[in-house]
Amino acid sequence: MESIMNIEYFNSENSDYFIKLSGEMDAYGCSQVDSELEKVLDADSVQHISLDIDKVTFLDSSGIGVIVFLFKRLKSSGGTLEISNVNGQPKELIKLLRVGSVIPVKFK
């Protein structure tokens, strides 16, 4: 049985977006939220995204790809990305890949 990935997001008055993801960030899960992430990135005013993955139970190369995609899109327009509440299996992979050497990561 495939799990469902959920996305919640809101923006503050200063062009910051807060995105909460839950579920599995695998190929199937990421395909469920791609269009929503595109909507956020297409907003002209986005300068910073805080990506909360506290409720992400699994992360693989597809999920890392989404994170890198967000980072590159924001960086190209002068914006920034941070990943917060990283724990469990995603924490192990993010540490192994040394994502924190490029993107600010806050471990839980």
pLDDT above 60 (res 8): yes
Mean pLDDT, all residues of the chain = 92
The per-residue pLDDT for 90 is 98
User: Above 60 in pLDDT, residue 1?
Assistant: no
Q: Distance (Å, rounded) from C-alpha 47 to C-alpha 77?
A: 8
Residue-wise pLDDT tens digits, 30-76: 999 988 998 888 877 789 999 999 999 999 999 999 999 999 999 99
Instruction: Supply the pTM of this predicted model.
Output: 0.92
pLDDT at 46: 87
